[in-house]
Amino acid sequence: MELTLAPSRDNLASPAKETIREIFDAVAPRYDGINRLLSFHLDEGWRSRAGVGTGKFLGQFLKKQTWRLAAGIDFSGPMLGRARQSLPGDCRLVQADIHDIPFESEAFDLVVSSFTLRSVKDRPRFFKEVRRALRPSGKAAFLCLTRPTSVLGRMLYAPYLKFYLPFIGGLISENRTAYQFLSQSIQNFPAPPEIGRELESAGFHTIQIRPLTFGISTLIQARK
């Protein structure tokens, strides 16, 4: 499905929230398969280290440990529909905007998000919400698609990011807009140390930044 974007919404490095939701609604049915292909199966490994999307990331957590309450939030109905099929029935799935986490304060020991920070329009507000939802000394973990730090890595990664990703992703998904957004939002995403500073400003401490696979993905962890 191809999206038609209104002229005011066509900045795909940082599109409007509604455009982002439309993109994920449209790609939901083939999201996991295309991810695997585009990341050469690396996405599975990245997730195992750390919006709920189709639920794969949360599912891995639930397999490893039993939690009293597990919840996933996403504003895309089709993404949540996929998640419902794969997650245990007692896992709460809520359709909501993560800028306003619909849970009471100090409800969670751990808040995780994978590959979602690029879509967040107001990171200070989101981080404040994550902190509010965490119990004292609770942990937040953000798995992000980033860019290699070494010059050689950047040179090798640039053609993949700028050409392969939008072209192959667009071709297979038949949704060029979604994969242009993926490519441009990674190109424009702040370097992880900057995210670390933002987390500090939001009141987090013990910030750990761990690059994965030469820095094309990064796990950022912080304590309340």
- For residue 56, the minimal CB distance to ligand SAM (Å) is 6
DSSP per position, 87-103: S-TTSEEEE--TTS--S
State the angle between helix axes of 123-133 and 192-201 in degrees (0 to 180), rounded to the nearest 10: 60
- For residue 94, the minimal CB distance to ligand SAM (Å) is 9
Q: Decide whether 181 or 204 has the Cβ nearer to ligand SAM.
A: 181
- For residue 74, the minimal CB distance to ligand SAM (Å) is 4
Q: Decide whether 31 or 150 has the Cβ nearer to ligand SAM.
A: 31
Q: Decide whether 17 or 162 has the Cβ nearer to ligand SAM.
A: 17
Distance between CA atoms of residues 170 and 174, nearest Å = 5
Query: Residue 195 in contact with residue 220, Cβ under 8 Å?
Result: yes
Structure tokens at 77: 């109905």
Query: Residue 37 in contact with residue 43, Cβ under 8 Å?
Result: no
- For residue 152, the minimal CB distance to ligand SAM (Å) is 27
**Chain positions contacting ligand SAM, by CB under 6 A:** 17, 20, 24, 47, 51-53, 56-57, 73-76, 79, 97-99, 114-116, 119
